Amino acid sequence: MIFDAVSKSCLAFISHVLGMRSLRRHRIATSSLGNVLTGVSVALSVATYAYGATPAALGAAPVPASALPAPIQALVARGVLVGKSFVAEAGLTGWIVTHQGHTGIVYTTADKQHLIVGSLVDATGRDLTPVYAATYVPKPDLASLYKQLHGTRYVMQGAATSKNVIYVFFDPNCVYCHFAWKALQPYVKAGLQVRWVPVGFLKPTSAPRAAAILEAKVPMQALEFNEERFVSATEDGGIIPVSTMKPETLRTLTANRTLMDAFGSNGTPAIVWRDSHGVVQAKSGMPPLSELSAMTGLPEQPETDRDLDRFR
């Protein structure tokens, strides 16, 4: 099945409204706010996923709240940050807004009394929102963020001295992270070093399971246990969640999630690597198997696991 930008946005919106946890090839972080703010959060999550936006800088001095249209003032009152505005099609005004680590675009109508959240599609079927995003939404400084990865608390798998290194943000209950784990094992055997960066947001047991991995005597063995005993039918990791999390572990998981968001990734797995030219790249979701060679910098490895057939 093929999804264009519009259908991805629609599917994401429907998934959030119905309380579904999964989208094709990736897992989405959800929030529990009021209806309007939830809609904005969904739109920003989709914008971040589709366009790689991050709230590094909104690019303009804050507009006084009293000068904003009433619907935008209502968002500001709920903690949404507002940056640039611009003239959009059909008399609309576009606004660069940020909430919970995600930056995107919303629109107000010409009468300034109504807010539009979602894609803006013209008569030809073209989604104008990514066009505006490319011009007005600030892009993440991936090179700077990559340096921050060195200070994260991760679980290292593979050769300690390997020149081929990738980072993977994962939730221990994420089935697509489990697929990424499976897909990367042949590359680990071929010399890849994977730095698994734990986060925990998908289920109530996610953070306690991530803590069980980080607080284990040998975290790598705990991670292997979680993946080897992963229950795909219920999307549950195999490790037993801790009953009480250490404060430093909670701080670690919070910092990891913040950094994941800064990379423009609002779901897991989120993969970060340097390409063959040394340029930092970031990708949300389980990638096609054909992309793993370029991501890892290693020759393509044979894969016979039938669970991964959908990613061939």
CA pair distance 37, 251, nearest whole angstrom: 26
Distance, CA of 40 to CA of 82 (rounded, Å): 12
C-alpha closest to that of 44 among 2, 101, 124: 101
Cα distances (angstroms) measured from residue 3 to each of 58, 64, 286, 290, 297: 29, 39, 15, 19, 28
pLDDT at 253: 96
Quote the pTM value. 0.68
pLDDT at res. 63? 56
Angle at 296 between CA 177 and CA 230, to 5 degrees: 20
Token digits of residue 291: 């992309």
Confidence at residue 154, expressed as pLDDT on a 0 to 100 scale: 97
Contact of 137 with 106, CB cutoff 8 Å: no
**Residue 138, Cβ neighbours under 10 Å: how many?**
18
Are residues 108 and 115 in contact, defined by beta-carbon separation less than 8 angstroms? yes
Q: Where are the beta strands (DSSP E) in 41-138?
A: 81-87, 93-99, 102-108, 115-116
Q: Which helix (H) or strand (E) holds 155?
A: strand 155-158
Distance CA 167, CA 82 (A): 32
Task: Please give the structure tokens belonging to residue 115.
Answer: 């807010």
> HSE on the CB side for 302, CA within 13 Å?
1
Average pLDDT per consecutive 10 residues, the chain (312 residues; last block may be shorter): 33 34 41 44 42 33 70 87 88 86 84 89 90 82 92 94 96 97 97 97 96 97 98 96 96 94 85 95 93 96 91 90
